[in-house]
Amino acid sequence: MESMIEKIETLCKSKNISIAKMSRHLDLSHAVFRQWKNTRQKPALESIIKVAKYFNVSIDWLVGLTDNPEINK
C-alpha cells in the first residue's frame, strides 16, 4: 500500500510539478514535506486538506482509508 507521501509524490509526477512548487502553492515549507517523508512529523489535518483540494482527490484515499481517489459528492 502506498503511503500518503508516496501518493503525493506520484500525484506531483503525474501533473509534472515539483514537490517544491506544490509546497509553495499550498504555503507549506518544503522542509515540512521532507519531515513528513522522514516520518519526523505527521501532517496536520489542515495540510492534508490543502493537498487533497490541490489535487482534487479524496482525503480518505490520501490517508489510505479507501482505494478510490475520487471525491464522493
Domain extents for the chain? 4-62
Whole-number pLDDT of residue 48: 94
Distance CA 37, CA 43 (A): 10
Residue 71 has pLDDT above 70, yes or no: yes
CA atoms within 13 A on the CB side of 5: 13
Average pLDDT (61-71) is: 91
Residue 40, CB-side half-sphere exposure with 13 Å CA sphere: 6
Global pTM value = 0.87
Q: Identify the band that residue 73 occupies on the pLDDT scale cut at 50, 70 and 90.
A: low
What are 8-65's pLDDT values in tens digits? Answer: 999 999 999 999 999 999 998 878 888 888 887 888 999 999 999 999 999 999 999 9
Q: Which CATH number is 4-62 given?
A: 1.10.260.40
H/E stretch holding 11 reads helix 4-15
